[in-house]
Amino acid sequence: MPPPSSRLVSSAPRYQQVAEELQNAIARGDHPVGGLLPPEPQLCSQFGVSRHTLRDAVRILCDMGMLHRQQGVGTRIKRAQPQQRFVATLDSLGDLMQYTQETRLNFLGSRWLEVKPPLSEWLGCAPGERWLELDTYRAPLEEDTPLAHMKVYVRPECEGIAKDIRDGDGRAWIYGLIEQHGGEPILQVRQTVSAVAMPKESARVLHVKGGSPGLQVRRQYAGADRVLSISVNVYPLNLFEFMTTWRLREASPDPLG
């Protein structure tokens, strides 16, 4: 077997070359979407590489979402083109609550309620279930001008959160409290941003006119198989922007650090 280099053009590692050739073959339609790739041993001999090298190549295409490997079955072609081109990352949800550091969470009250649509849909539960509603607002550390009105809905077993917020130092972090009281890790967060006409209740808290423009940010915190909690934030005009940066997946990993 000749050494892997000694080619003319290619200086790229063999597994990258194989990945590229495979990608081209799939894009060309040699392997139809939905079908199975030939077994690894066959591909190995076809490309003249060891199984390990081939698997490194296949891994790349899996990461790009084109292939899906399943033990005992085979490698299925999911897409002819790479998906997930853009990726956004969060450092442990720090960005989601970016200004937690400079603000304080204040307790207004809490009450039990039987949820109705659309709340029940947001919670992923049947109408009529009992959840605890926490009424809070967020303000700068030294002032008391509210920046946001927030309602949080938690399951009965997380009732203790209310006390933590009421008696805490205001540095509480909904995300952490949920994991702590629910005893279940948060695996997924879904965030929905929309425009709202300021509801009366929020308007009163935020000292703005009812019906004036506002931003509603709804966050759904989910565990393995159920919604653990949701929060609904309302921000007045000009006080809040939500920014997300998407990077090309292939691009160098975070040039900023």
Partner DNA sequence: AAGTGGTCTAGACCACCGA
Partner DNA sequence: CGGTGGTCTAGACCACTTA
x-marked contacts with its own copies along 222-251 as a string, rule CB under 8 A = -------------xxxx-xxxxxxxxx--x
Count residues near its own copies (CB under 8 A): 48
Site for DNA contains 37 (CB under 7 A): yes
Which residues are registered as beta bridge partners of 76? 36, 68
Residues 38-97 binding DNA (CB under 7 A) are 39-42, 48-53, 55-56, 69-75
Question: Alpha carbon of 179 to those of 159, 175, 200: distances in Å?
Answer: 13, 7, 31
Write the binding mask 150 to 189 for its own copies: x where contact by CB under 8 A, - elsewhere: -----------------------------------xxxxx
What's the token pair of residue 230?
């949701």
Rounded alpha-carbon distances, angstroms, from residue 139 to 13, 43, 68, 93, 164: 54, 61, 47, 20, 17
Size of interface with DNA, in residues (CB under 7 A)? 29
Neighbours of 105 (CB within 10 A): 23
The torsion region of residue 211 among left (phi > 0), alpha (psi -120 to 50) and beta comes to: left
Least separation, in Å, of the C-beta of 113 and its own copies? 23
- Least distance to DNA from the beta carbon of 93, Å? 28
Q: d(Cα 221, Cα 136) in Å, to the nearest integer?
A: 18
- Residues near its own copies (CB under 8 A) are 52, 81-93, 96, 185-198, 211-215, 235-238, 240-248, 251
- Residues near DNA (CB under 7 A) are 1, 3-5, 13-16, 36-37, 39-42, 48-53, 55-56, 69-75
